[in-house]
């Protein structure tokens, strides 16, 4: 592990650098988002992840502005929501996200969920391909520095690659102890795709942070269970996106580079049973 801090860059296949931990905003109340993002940037985060469906892009943009940190020093991601799939709608939705954020480019834009066959039957692949075609054009036009996917399992990615001209640089999936996606991570990484972890602490209501195994390992390193969870993700070469609106926790979620989990500890965490989280199958969702 050569990473030295939360902003040490990983390099995407197109050469773009991305800070190796990002600040997540899933379920951040729009009313507190601007302050939370300003706090996160103030604490040192330079990578912010939002999405149209979080309804807090406006607050993210305000937090970025009031932070006083120059735009080019920040890495900002947003995502295309499911109701905006397709070539024309994707372009319009992207511009609407930019407008809400008050930015003139994004560092990374993701398709939030694949259109699945359960909802769209045989048209699913075509819908994803058309959505991607619009993303490719926005990328070629210089409006997005890198493009990628979210909640795409390897079989969705392979299907997309049948028509894609630009290979996705990132895939953001749910990863936390008890919901490992270990095989999928390896497969995506073998395709040259950087895997990002959403819900890296299990999200609201999960038992990850109070699990006795996690507590035992945390105690052994003098760290918290949240830090152990994030470290376990980082040591798999995956980029975690922890969300917190509390400054003390935000700081904790950056302080991940003064300890290392052993191979045995990594395995012990990987073997934990389901501890909650969203744990949704992208082929089964109906939104």
* Min dist. Cβ of residue 171 to ligand A2P (A): 17
Distance CA 133, CA 2 (A): 36
Residue 154 touching ligand A2P (CB under 6 A): no
How is residue 277 annotated by DSSP?
S
Residue 24 touching ligand A2P (CB under 6 A): yes
87 in catalytic set? no
List binders of ligand A2P among 36-65 (CB under 6 A). Answer: none
* Min dist. Cβ of residue 263 to ligand A2P (A): 24
Q: Which is nearer to ligand A2P, 24 or 154 (CB)?
A: 24
List binders of ligand A2P among 265-284 (CB under 6 A). Answer: none
Residue 243 touching ligand A2P (CB under 6 A): yes
Which one of 53-61, 83-91, 101-109, 194-202 is the stretch in contact with ligand A2P (CB under 6 A)?
A: 194-202
Which one of 40-48, 98-106, 163-171, 195-203 is the stretch in contact with ligand A2P (CB under 6 A)?
A: 195-203
Q: Which is nearer to ligand A2P, 22 or 154 (CB)?
A: 22
Annotate 142-177 with three-state secondary structure.
CCEEEEEEECCCHHHHHHHHCCCCCCCCEEEEECEC
Distance CA 18, CA 39 (A): 20
Q: Which is nearer to ligand A2P, 104 or 248 (CB)?
A: 248
Contacts (Cβ under 8 Å, ≥6 apart) of 215: 225
Among residues 54, 105, 109, 139, which one is catalytic? 54
- Applying CB under 6 A, the site for ligand A2P has a residue count of 19
How is residue 179 annotated by DSSP?
B
Which one of 12-20, 41-49, 124-132, 196-204 is the stretch in contact with ligand A2P (CB under 6 A)?
A: 196-204
From the list 193, 272, 194, the residue with the least C-alpha distance to 232 is: 272
Neighbours of 44 (CB within 10 A): 15
Q: Which is nearer to ligand A2P, 137 or 255 (CB)?
A: 255
What distances in angstroms separate CA 18 from CA 94, 102, 209, 261, one per listed residue? 20, 21, 27, 23
Q: Is 271 left (phi over 0), alpha (psi -120 to 50) or beta?
A: alpha
Residue 86 touching ligand A2P (CB under 6 A): no
Neighbours of 70 (CB within 10 A): 7
Find the angle CA(145)-CA(22)-CA(3) to the nearest 5 degrees: 95
Q: Which is nearer to ligand A2P, 21 or 98 (CB)?
A: 21
> For residue 248, how far is the Cα from the chain centroid?
22
Q: Which is nearer to ligand A2P, 153 or 275 (CB)?
A: 275
Residue 201 touching ligand A2P (CB under 6 A): yes
Cβ proximity of 267 and 161 under 8 Å:
no
| Interface ranges with ligand A2P (CB under 6 A) | 24, 26, 199-204, 209, 224, 226, 242-246, 249, 252-253
Residues annotated catalytic, as ranges: 54
């Amino acid at each position: 592990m050569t990473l030295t801090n939360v902003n040490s860059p990983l390099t995407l296949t197109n050469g773009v650098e991305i800070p190796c931990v990002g600040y997540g905003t899933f379920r951040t109340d729009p009313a507190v988002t601007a302050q939370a993002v300003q706090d996160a940037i103030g604490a040192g985060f330079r990578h912010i992840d939002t999405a149209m469906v979080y309804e807090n892009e406006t607050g993210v943009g305000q937090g970025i502005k009031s932070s006083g940190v120059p735009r080019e020093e920040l890495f900002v991601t947003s995502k295309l929501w499911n109701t905006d799939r397709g070539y024309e709608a994707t372009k319009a939705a992207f511009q609407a996200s930019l407008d809400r954020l008050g930015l003139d480019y994004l560092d990374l834009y993701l398709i939030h969920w694949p259109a699945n066959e359960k909802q769209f039957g045989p048209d699913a692949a075509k819908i994803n391909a058309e959505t991607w075609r619009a993303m490719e054009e926005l990328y070629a036009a210089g409006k997005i520095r890198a493009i990628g996917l979210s909640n795409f399992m390897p079989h969705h990615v392979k299907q997309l690659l049948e028509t894609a001209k630009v290979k996705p640089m990132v895939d953001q999936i749910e990863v936390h102890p008890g919901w490992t996606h270990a095989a999928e991570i390896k497969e995506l990484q073998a395709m040259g795709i950087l895997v990002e972890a959403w819900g890296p602490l299990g999200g609201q209501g999960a038992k990850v942070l109070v699990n006795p195994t996690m507590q035992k390992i945390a105690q052994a390193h003098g760290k918290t269970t949240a830090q152990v969870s994030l470290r376990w993700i980082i040591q798999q070469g995956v980029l975690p996106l922890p969300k917190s609106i509390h400054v003390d926790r935000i700081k904790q979620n950056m302080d991940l580079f003064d300890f290392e989990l052993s191979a045995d500890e990594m395995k012990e965490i990987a073997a934990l049973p389901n501890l909650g989280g969203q744990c949704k199958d992208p082929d089964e969702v109906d939104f």
